Amino acid sequence: MIIITGPTASGKTGKAVALARAIGGEIISADSRQLYRGMDLGTGKDLDEYGEVPYHMIDICEAGYKYNLYEYLRDFQTCYDDIVGRGKPVILCGGTGLYVESVVKGIQLPPVPENCELREELSSKSLDELTEILKRYKTLRNNSDIDTCKRAIRAIEIAMYYHDNPHLKAQTEPHPLTDAVVIGIDIDRDTRRRRITERLKTRLDAGMVDEVRRLIEGGVKPEDLIYYGLEYKYLTLYVIGKLNYDEMFTQLETAIHQFAKRQMTWFRGMERRGTHIHWLPYDMPNEEFIFNAQCIMHNAQ
């Protein structure tokens, strides 16, 4: 398996598609928001870019749903087994560092049943209180488990289940893949910022505000869209009248720049935690990128 990752606006999809065409591969998305149907412009699906190249893990659930890491690893494995079973190379492409690193590390998450008694006990606690409880059981590497009380309670439920069932602990320990090569798309900060701004303007011109309106009119609650962050947070706040257009644009642009910075922080953390990332320039011509990717794959064998 070859993994192509990098920050937003670095051109990952184009590189992955070019490589897939060259080696007859299929692409599995590692983007936490492209999973949702109807959330197209805001997540940058660019489905036309794939052409005849098969892709997976895009448009697999309804907007408003809160997909999680357990579900991703389960569904990724199903796609991976199917592609490999048909004798095709697998290309994992996306910038959600948690998904990418969990796949590379071979993380497995056994299903955890609901604990109604625990949920009732925790239901009256504040998010800060829930966060402190969760910290007793695990180190928090990001805020995804504690962005809402509901998610924090579920995270505590899972952590306590593993604590009370130590025989499951071995399944949750990393088992790094030995046949995975990770290629990062390297883009300098100034170019990345320029491309983010240009892309944001293009997507707004293409109707990103109307996309959010359609989702709300279709029954997705504004608070559920806000939960997804970035484009859907700020565009929703604009649509429901909490921000004017200029405020929306400025705050959203800043948020995307900050998001890209956090992505790079995650990738550097991956490298510190033992994952070797082969960085190739974003502006490398596709033919040269394919050649270099194949050399990296060959040398890793």
* Residue range 83-142, pLDDT digits in tens: 999 999 999 999 999 999 999 999 888 888 999 999 999 999 999 999 999 999 988 866
**pLDDT range class, residue 298, cuts 50, 70, 90:** very high
Q: Are residues 251 and 272 in the same domain?
A: yes
pLDDT at 43: 96
Indicate if the pLDDT at residue 21 is higher than 70: yes
| Residue bearing tokens 């109807």 | 38
**Contact criterion met (CB below 8 Å) for 76 and 28:** yes
Q: Do 130 and 151 fall within a single domain?
A: yes
Report the CATH number that the domain containing residue 230 is assigned in CATH. 3.40.50.300
* Residue ranges making up the domain that contains 127: 116-172
CA angle 183, 92, 109 (to 5 degrees): 115
Mean pLDDT, rounded, for 66-77: 93
Q: What percent of the chain has pLDDT over 70?
A: 99
Do 185 and 280 belong to one domain?
Answer: yes
Rounded Cα–Cα distance for residues 49 and 184 (Å): 19
Q: Are residues 130 and 277 in the same domain?
A: no
Residues 30 and 61 in one domain: yes
Q: Within this chain, do residues 161 and 202 fall inside the same structural domain, yes or no? A: no
Residue 44 makes CB contacts below 8 A (sequence gap 6+) with 8, 13, 34, 199, 203
What CA–CA distance (Å, rounded) separates 223 from 93? 29
- Looking up tokens 């088992």 gives 175
* Res 119: pLDDT: 95
185-241 pLDDT tens trace: 999 999 999 999 999 999 999 999 999 999 999 999 999 999 999 999 999 999 999
Residues of the chain with pLDDT > 90: what percent? Answer: 83
At residue 121, the pLDDT reads 96
Q: Which of these three, 172, 200, 219, is where a domain ends?
A: 172
**Pair (182, 290) in one structural domain:** yes
Predicted local confidence at residue 140, as pLDDT: 80
Give the strands of the sheet with 90-93, arranged side by side: 55-56, 26-29, 90-93, 2-5, 181-186, 277-281
Answer whether residue 150 shows pLDDT above 90: no
- Looking at the fold, whether 185 and 50 belong to one and the same domain comes out as yes
The CA-CA-CA angle for residues 152, 156, 160, to 5°, reads 175
Q: How many domains does the chain have?
A: 2
Q: Would the CA dihedral through 188, 191, 197, 202 be positive or negative?
A: negative
pLDDT tier at 148 (50, 70, 90 boundaries)?
confident
pLDDT reported for residue 168: 82
CB atoms near residue 196 (< 10 Å): 19
pLDDT number for residue 175: 83
* Residue 151 sits in the same domain as residue 222: no
**pTM across the whole model:** 0.89
Model confidence pLDDT, tens digit, residues 257-281:
999 999 999 999 999 999 999 999 9
Domain stops at, among 172, 192, 212: 172
Of 132, 150, 172, the position where a domain reaches its end is 172
Q: Are 252 and 229 in contact (CB under 8 A)?
A: no
| Residue linked to tokens 């991976």 | 80
Same domain, 279 and 202: yes
Supply the pLDDT for residue 143: 67
Mean pLDDT of the residues in the chain: 94
Amino acid 250: pLDDT: 98
How far is the C-alpha of 224 from the C-alpha of 106, rounded, in Å?
30
Question: How much is the pLDDT for 280?
Answer: 98
Quick one: tokens of 140? 């928090």
Pair (185, 161) in one structural domain: no
In a shared domain, residues 221 and 74: yes
